[in-house]
Amino acid sequence: MSALNDLALTVEEREPGRFYWVLLEAVHDTGSTADTLGYRPLRVAAQPQPSYSSALALGTAALKKLATTATHPDAGGSA
């Protein structure tokens, strides 16, 4: 897994009214000359949410859980 500072959270509306949070990890392309980062999905919500804000809140909770597990492995949960 990438360092915690190389993660991002986004929300996708895949169908009208069906929002999914997506945790992304940075992909470092050493062959690129541009100052850009690409991202690939790391974790995706299993269930859609009825609103952007609900998906964002649950995605934030998933990111916090991932960060807690990564920095304190004895905190419980699996990453």
The total number of structural domains in the chain stands at 1
Confidence band for 14, pLDDT divided at 50, 70 and 90: very high
Instruction: Write down the pLDDT at residue 54.
Output: 98
Please tell me the distance from the alpha carbon of residue 32 to that of residue 50, in angstroms, as a whole number.
38
- Map tokens 């998906």 to a residue: 55
Render pLDDT for 48-60 as a digit per residue (tens, 0 to 9): 999 999 999 999 9
Q: What is the pTM of this model?
A: 0.76
Domain membership of residue 47 as a residue range:
4-73
- 35 has pLDDT over 80: no
In angstroms, what CA-CA distances link 32 with 8, 51, 64? 20, 36, 31
Instruction: Spell out the residues 6+ positions from residue 78 whose beta carbon is closer than 8 angstroms to its own.
Output: 69
Confidence band for 28, pLDDT divided at 50, 70 and 90: confident
| Residue 30, in any domain of the structure | yes
| Residue 79, in any domain of the structure | no
Instruction: Write down the pLDDT at residue 48.
Output: 98
